[in-house]
Structures are given as C-alpha cells and as structure tokens.
Structure 1
C-alpha cells in the first residue's frame, strides 16, 4: 500500500460522473497557486448569459462531495437560468495545489475571485456552500457584493461558530486525529484502517456502495483522502476555522454589514435548539431569505438527501427571478 503522493492523484476527467461526463476542469494559477474548478455548462441555447453557480463543500471534503446533485443540476440549469455550475477545490484539497501556509476564508475568497478571472469564469454568481463552505459563501458575498445574485447555505456554519468553546476544543482534537492519520499513512496502515470503517464519513472517507455516488467518484475520493497532501490541507483548514468565523462575525457585528436584501435560502437540519437559533440568525441577515428544513435531520445532506439541495436550488432560482435584490450590490454599503 504505502503513502500515495501528489503525483498519483486520480485522473480528474474520470472521477465524477463516469462515462459521458461533460465536465471541464480548469486549473487557473493565481498568486503562485493553481486551483481546480470543475465546471458543467448549460448546453441549451437559453440562459448562456445567466449566472454561474459556484459550489463549495464542507470540511474536509472537496468538489466530489457534490457529485450527488450534479445530474439534477445539469437537468435544471435551463429552468434555473444558470449558465454553468462549477465545483471548487480549496487549496490542498482535491486536485488543487497545496499551500505552504494556512489560508483564511477571507484570503481564499480573494484568491478564488482572481482564479475565476484567470479561468474566464466571470459574471454574476449564485453561491452554494455546505457546512464550512457556508462561511465562504457569506465571506465572498460581503467582499464582492456586486458579483453575487443569490446564496444557498446547506446546514451551514455561522459566524458565531468560532466563539463556542466546544468547537475550539474540536479543532484541537481534529488536528491531533489528522496528524495521526498522516503518521499512519506514512507507515502504510491508514488505507487498511479506512477500509474497515474505522475512519468516519465526517473525516472525509467515502464508503463504497453509496446510493448517490458512482464508483468512480468514490474511488477517486478515497485515493485523494489517502494522500498526505490532502490530510495536511485538512489540518491547515481546521486551524483557520476559529479565526475565519471570528473575522466574519467582526464584519457582521462591529462593521454593521448584513446581507441586505440578497436572495438567500437557508437549508438546515434541526440538530438542537442552539443550532436552530444560529441558523435563524444567519437567515435574518437578509430581508429576502427563507428557511427550509432537512427531514430527516442529518448534517451530511449531499450524501443522504441530495433532493433537498435540488429543491432548495429551485426555490433560490425562483426567488432570484421573482424578487431580485434592489439594494444589495448597488453600492449602497
């Protein structure tokens, strides 16, 4: 077995939908790092100038986490007025370059915007973030409001996350766990452990036989998980979570910025009352928001209930069409 190196990453073209996959991978270089962005185009003649939907995953996942919704997104792009749907890998994750240093979400948003411009993926954006990816959705929207026409958060992390003691302790614990994974991987024992089911989905290991993920996507994700490049990037991200959420909270509370009337759909699972309260607060940041429940409640929505994400995207598309922002993005900040 042994440790897999960055040079043995699976072929990206064969790692998503399998045969007849129409996606195109972009590798724009910006500020010395290449980012992988996998895009699927609306193949109809309609909506060619519509916004681009950008999907960012939870931690420690990357672009393949969204494979379960890609077929439905392809089917509904014309009706949703989307010209492209693009799925990003944050640095060190998936097929993106590793960074020599941790990159905060605020820095990542700036780098993503530059990478999108290098790749020619410019225009208006609909931002979709699951879990930790929701911090990106909010950060990017506040940094570049004229670029964004709507957002969807999927059981998303909120700006108050970093102030919760249990979360601060979880970061320390996960850092230790992933450091252990790296040591095991270097000794060639992590793969066997993962295949026994001892590494949970929440740590990024895809189990075989998923109802919503083709075998090629599962295999590619497993192969990438079993690289110290990916494991090291996970540690880097765990160590910027508290800072990044605190910086977002600073923007909301001390600077007084909100999401104004940006079309916003908040899809969330009812874990406990505190989580519900924080999701309600997130939704309240826009006067043009709606909340949708995930039933049954489960944080791993792309894996267990991708239809809920598709329904939320349809609701967001309708909101953008029938009640677009009038204040948001007009320079009135």
Structure 2
C-alpha cells in the first residue's frame, strides 16, 4: 500500500513539473535586437497558427516583387537565419524582393504544436493557406536549408505557378529516405531527444546544455554563435525555446515523417518523369563525400536552369557558420531569375 502511494506521488510530481509554464521569449525581442524592423505574423489555418517573421523592402520600387520564404533544417526554425537577415535587407532592392519571410514549422519557435506529425506534403498545403490568410500572396522565391529543401521541392511541384526560383542549402534530396543509415539515424535521434525530454522533466537538461554538452545539431545555440553574426537576444531566445518540451516533442514528430516525406517526394518526381523543368535553381552544397555530391548533382539536374555553388569550408550548418555563402547564392539566384526566367515552368 505504501509503495503504491509512493508511485502515485511520483507520477503526480512528474505531471506537475510538466505542467509548469516555462517562460517563453517575446518574439519581437528575439531576432535583430534594437531597431529590428521585422513583423511577426500568426495566420491561423485549419486550426493551427504558424509564425512567419517578415522584413519588408524599404524601397517603393520592389513592392510587387516576389516574396522570399526561408525554411530551416531540422530541428531549427526562424532564428537560424538571423546571421543572414541584415545582408538580405541590404540587398533586397537589388534582388527585386518585396519581403523576406522566415518560417517556423509547426511546434517550432512561436508556431502552434500539432497533435500529430505533419508530413511535408500536408505542411506545404497548410503553409500556402496560411500565407493567403496573412496576405502574403504573389510569387515566391523559396530558400531551404537541409531538411528545408524537401519543403522547397515539394512546394514547387505542388504549386508551380507560385514559384519563380529556388535555392537549396546543403539540402536533403528525395532519395534520402531510401538510405538505410538515414532510417537508422531517425531512430537514434528520436531516442536522444526522448532522453532530453526526460532530463528536462527533472530539471537536468539546462545545466547540460549550458555546459556545451549538447551538439548544435539538435537545435541548441552555443553562445559562441555571436561571432558568426547572431545577436545575443536571438541566441538567448533559441536556447529558451530549446529548453521547452514543446520544441523537443516537435523534433520527434519531424524525425518521424522524414522518411515518408522524402519517399513521397521521390514518387512525385518518378510520376510521368516529373522534373523542375526550367525553374531557376541555385544548389549550394558542401562535398561531404562522393555519395552526397552525386545526390546533390542529381538534385540540381532536375532543373535545366540550375547552377551549383560550393560551400567552403565544408560544413552542413551553413546559416550558423557561413552566412556569406548564402548571400552569394541568393545574388546568383536573383541574377538567374532576372536574366533567364522560366519559360515553361508553371505553365
């Protein structure tokens, strides 16, 4: 009897710990700091709100230009792009971009959590509806880093008339889900995040993270990122969000849809020889190994209007370590869109 009471007490204590509200960073103070001109939008579509952080072109000449949409790798969100935002703002007039918007997929950042994992195919449908609710309509330039490139490709194939150009940054390709080591990695990473949730529930995760015992591959921002262009407020906000089970559970949900989402994209490409036709496309990639290089080359070959640019030094976490190469890639994409726009894409 006494043992049952003790077990019940432990269960209640764990529930109380999980129920305690964790301070959440204020979105307006989580990006560029003082004089930040960004505006956060929270359009609701099919019962879920998504957070989109937008920066407007300050000139009047490009008000009708395309909107650049940035989607990050897994498990990152809008703050992953903070190091590139100032240069994007500076170059928007020359690139003919009306707005630059940075997305939090469901459960990440300041977006609502979903009760179930959302495949990329479902996500792009929901995102398009959310963009329309938010008034962010028109043509898009899509930028996706790592897992975000699955979004870029899926959105382009689903809504080709909306898209005028794409850039993938060391991006995940449609063959990713067929590779057994990647399938095993999903299981491994899921177990690691579950361990973080258990540590977080007993108050041990934060000390581990602040001692730099957690790799930034899992979404933790080390304070050293300030040397690569991240503001202290963006690092602090990202760390606070990481230490919230909302974020950690969202990461597990996304790991669970990686294989099926990439396989579904591969089937879409296989369907009647579907390609990206002549869509302007810049593929930034780091030469990790020959297999990765071959898959990146194949991904670029899906458009007859593509070019590849190397990421040097070699590093997968490009927005965190080498924002300049992203700006170079965007400049190349802008030039390609203006001088060699698609003629058959989207028709």
Q: How would you bin the TM-score normalised by the shorter chain?
A: over 0.9
- The two structures, once aligned, show a CA RMSD in angstroms of 1.1
Alignment of 1:1-333 (within 5 A): 8-210=23-225, 211=227, 212-330=229-347
SS in 2 for 1:85: strand
Shift in Å, 1:253: 1.4
Q: State which structure, 1 or 2, has the greater radius of gyration over its C-alpha atoms.
A: 2
Change in CA separation of 1:141 and 1:48 when aligned onto 2, cut-off 3 Å:
same
Tell whether the 8 Å contact from 1:160 to 1:245 is kept in structure 2 after alignment. yes
Where does the alignment leave 5 or more consecutive residues of structure 2 unmatched? 1-16
Whole-angstrom distance in 2 between the partners of 1:296 and 1:215:
25
Shift in Å, 1:5: 6.1
Tell whether the 8 Å contact from 1:6 to 1:227 is kept in structure 2 after alignment. no
Whole-angstrom distance in 2 between the partners of 1:85 and 1:188:
38
Shift in Å, 1:8: 2.5
Tell whether the 8 Å contact from 1:5 to 1:227 is kept in structure 2 after alignment. no
Whole-angstrom distance in 1 between the partners of 2:192 and 2:153:
28
Query: After the TM superposition, which segments of 4 or more aligned residues of structure 1 sit over 3 Å from their partners?
Result: 2-7
Shift in Å, 1:101: 0.3
What are the Cα deviations for residues 308-332 of structure 1, in whole angstroms up to 9, with x where unaligned?
00000000000000000000011xx
TM-score (norm 2): 0.93
TM-score (norm 1): 0.97
Shift in Å, 1:4: 9.1
Whole-angstrom distance in 1 between the partners of 2:313 and 2:22:
40
Q: How many aligned positions are there?
A: 329
The 10-residue stretch of structure 1 (46-55 or 5-14) with the greater mean CA deviation from structure 2? 5-14
Tell whether the 8 Å contact from 1:104 to 1:244 is kept in structure 2 after alignment. yes
Tell whether the 8 Å contact from 2:22 to 2:244 is kept in structure 1 after alignment. no
Shift in Å, 1:60: 0.3
